[in-house]
Amino acid sequence: MKTFKNNLFDLLRLVAASFVLISHQFALSGKIEPHIGVSYTLVGIGVVIFFAISGYLVTASFTRDPDLPRFFYRRALRIFPGLIVCLIFTVFLIGPIFSNLSVEEYFANSATWEYFIHNAILHTVYPLPGVFEHTFYPNSVNGSLWTLPIEFICYVILAIALTLYNSYKSILVILITCVMVCIFVLDGMITSQSIWMTNAPFLFVAFLIGALLNKTKNRWIKDRVLQNILLLISFIFLFAYISRSEGKLIFPITLGVVVIIIGELFHSPKLIAKRDYSYGIYIYAFPIQQIVINYTNFSFLSKTLICIIITLCLAMVSWHFVELPFLNLKPKASINVLSNDME
């Protein structure tokens, strides 16, 4: 029987989701986001944490069962049910209420259905007709969805690499390639106005760091000296480069190492373990914040607390009534090991 292993990753993902929510609260209110160094806001830190943990746990999932159809079936069960219900909530409830158009005009507009269909297949579209047109951050109903296609591409890259050669070496080759691409971006050799192009390579690095640490787990998991050395080196590089442009590349590498090692060394509180509300918080927070920030007259702190409460309630509903039931449909792994069985 496969046994659930209680580590700190559920709590760390909850912290990451909270970082994203808080950072967006500032941005959507027309304020400067909290940031560390010159490259990373709180939302950037949260997303890096998400990708590093995802790389680590998804690699473990593939190692337990390297069957490609079952692997992608598990990944689809993790992403799409929660996302589609969130899109239904957004398009059919938030949209008609907050659109400047009449209900008939709103649903007759092809952009309404394009929003739903495109986002459901991970092609990010931000505006809904007439919704949030005059806010501090206009024409963006859910600005958090842009990372989901990058996440899925990470799954594809990982699956191809480990299918060709199921070793840390295949991951290392791709990681080095992504690091080189990041260097080209930092040097201005690759330029783009796209948030996807300027951020995706760095998120790939965070994901692959997590994957690499999983594939080399037997070498460091029980070696406290090596763990301390890795943590010390990571903190030294993190603080040395945090205020330099190179920090945009150093950060996902060092933070990824820190998050994975700490995640394995400690345990999530029982109240949080096996209750992963982080995905629900991530996908529901942005539209809720747009509503509360722009359609209420409370103070900034009060609006923040209201957003947290409403988003957490929606995330809990999403987890218990949407995400978890679909995750329970996952096929059993061919190798039974200690794992986070919700990945």
Asked whether residue 341 is domain-assigned, the answer is no
pLDDT-based confidence at 146, cuts 50/70/90? very high
Mean pLDDT of 39-63: 95
pLDDT at 269 over 90: no
pLDDT value for 61: 95
pLDDT at 208 over 70: yes
Do the Cβ atoms of 265 and 299 come closer than 8 Å?
A: no
pLDDT at 179 over 80: yes
pLDDT at 1 over 60: no
pLDDT value for 275: 86
For the whole prediction, is pTM greater than 0.85?
Answer: yes
**The pair of three-digit structure tokens given for residue 97, joined into one six-digit string:** 């209420």
Question: How many structural domains comprise the chain?
Answer: 1
Average pLDDT, the chain: 92
Higher pLDDT, 342 or 222: 222
Do the Cβ atoms of 95 and 112 come closer than 8 Å?
A: yes
HSE-up of residue 250 (Cα within 13 Å, Cβ side): 19
CA distances in angstroms from 170 to 59, 159, 201, listed in the order given: 12, 11, 17
Largest Cα–Cα separation, the chain: 65
CA distances in angstroms from 17 to 42, 74, 173, 278, 334, listed in the order given: 10, 22, 30, 5, 32
Interatomic CA distance for residues 265 and 68, integer angstroms: 30
Do the Cβ atoms of 203 and 150 come closer than 8 Å?
A: yes
Cβ neighbours of 242 (radius 10 Å) = 17
Domain residues for the domain of 134 are 9-327
67 three-state secondary structure:
coil
pLDDT-based confidence at 209, cuts 50/70/90? very high
Q: Which residues pair with 36 in a beta bridge?
A: 40
Asked whether residue 339 is domain-assigned, the answer is no
Strands (E), the chain: 35-36, 40-41
Q: Which residues pair with 40 in a beta bridge?
A: 36
**The pair of three-digit structure tokens given for residue 246, joined into one six-digit string:** 């190179």
pLDDT at 112 over 90: yes
Asked whether residue 129 is domain-assigned, the answer is yes
Interatomic CA distance for residues 341 and 221, integer angstroms: 19
Do the Cβ atoms of 60 and 37 come closer than 8 Å?
A: no
Asked whether residue 55 is domain-assigned, the answer is yes
Mean pLDDT of 309-322: 98
pLDDT value for 75: 97
Asked whether residue 289 is domain-assigned, the answer is yes
pLDDT at 140 over 70: yes
Q: Which residues pair with 131 in a beta bridge?
A: 99
Which range has the worst mean pLDDT, 28-37, 106-115, 225-234, 318-327?
28-37
Do the Cβ atoms of 339 and 68 come closer than 8 Å?
A: no
CA distances in angstroms from 212 to 10, 173, 219, listed in the order given: 20, 10, 11
Cβ neighbours of 264 (radius 10 Å) = 18
Interatomic CA distance for residues 130 and 203, integer angstroms: 32
pLDDT-based confidence at 3, cuts 50/70/90? very low
- Between the two ends of the chain, the Cα-to-Cα distance in Å is 17
276: closest CA among 189, 340, 197? 340
Look-up: residue for tokens 């995750």?
327
Mean pLDDT of 21-32: 96
Q: Which of 27-41, 118-132, 235-249, 257-271 has the highest mean pLDDT?
A: 118-132
pLDDT at 333 over 70: no
Do the Cβ atoms of 1 and 336 come closer than 8 Å?
A: yes
Asked whether residue 15 is domain-assigned, the answer is yes
pLDDT-based confidence at 272, cuts 50/70/90? confident
pLDDT value for 341: 43
